[in-house]
Amino acid sequence: MQAAAAAFVALAMLLTPGCGSALSGLDKLASGLEGLAAELENVADDWNKYEAEREKLTNYKIAIISVDENGNASNLTELKTETGYAMIIDNSITYVEFGAGKMYSLNSSDKIGVSVKLESEDTYKSFGSLISLHLFGFEMYRIMGAKKTGSEKVAGRSADIYTYELQGYECKFWVDTQYGLTLKSVMKNEGETKTMEIKEFKIGGVNLGDAVRLSEYEIQDLSEFGG
């Protein structure tokens, strides 16, 4: 039994008449909490290790496809280089040119967009700025007791496979062994399935100009109106 589950079971025994002595329950609760503390420490250590690796990623492209429980697919791509940042969700683009003090919201289908004044670029300079919910959701399930069940390649990357099950809720995660990112996930609950998978993870050699050419767009500058 995982440490967190053991702690909760011991607590339930303490509160349930006829389920052993209070002292025994306290011993089990203490043991479970100690195990949980150790598990949390391991997660924190791994997070720091992965974060140190992710800080080295100054030029990358991550392309994700997610499918909801109704079968609706959404494509999401994040690109970052030394000169700027772009987030592409289907035909909607958020683009930041570092040093220009502006953020652009673009529609790639109609080739129109707006620009607004950007007070700080710091948010867009960190890894996974707008896609963190896709990449780091696994950590919660690891704390709850997800078990390593194998390994595989996803998007050309080495990944450890973790599974978690609770009362009909099933999750499976493929976690990048170098950066700690969720490369793929499958979540099932009451007959419904949601999936997410990184289809491309390119490190180095990324050029924002290949994805966004501002000269192709008719852009209205809203900076003079206060953003």
3-state secondary structure 141-188: HHHHCCEEEEEEEECCEEEEEEEEEECCEEEEEEEECCCCCEEEEEEE
Predicted model pTM: 0.74
- CA distance linking residue 134 with residue 119, whole number of Å: 26
Residue 168, in any domain of the structure: no
- Nearest CA among 186, 219, 184, 215 for reference residue 198: 184
DSSP bridge pairs for 175: 160, 182
Residue 223, in any domain of the structure: no
Residue 34, in any domain of the structure: yes
- CA distance linking residue 119 with residue 117, whole number of Å: 6
Residue 26: the pLDDT is: 60
Tokens of 6: 């053991």
Residue 130: the pLDDT is: 62
User: Three-class SS of residue 192?
Assistant: strand
Do residues 102 and 116 touch, judged by C-beta distance below 8 A?
A: yes
Residue 68, in any domain of the structure: no
Residue 101: the pLDDT is: 85
- CA distance linking residue 175 with residue 136, whole number of Å: 9
- CA distance linking residue 47 with residue 197, whole number of Å: 21
Residue 39, in any domain of the structure: yes
Say how many CA atoms lie within 13 Å of 81 toward its Cβ.
14
Q: What residues in the chain have per-residue pLDDT under 70?
A: 1-40, 42-43, 45-47, 128-130, 132-133, 225-227
Domain span including residue 2: 1-54
Residue written as tokens 């998978």?
A: 197
Say how many domains are in the chain: 1
- CA distance linking residue 215 with residue 147, whole number of Å: 50
Alpha helix ranges (H) inside the chain? 3-15, 22-54, 122-125, 132-136, 138-144
Residue 23, in any domain of the structure: yes
Residue 186, in any domain of the structure: no
Q: What is the pLDDT of residues 142-201, one digit of tens each?
A: 888 889 999 999 999 999 999 999 888 899 999 999 988 899 999 999 889 999 999 999
User: Three-class SS of residue 56?
Assistant: coil
Residue 27, in any domain of the structure: yes
Residue written as tokens 């700025």?
A: 129
Residue written as tokens 């009362």?
A: 167
- CA distance linking residue 30 with residue 19, whole number of Å: 17
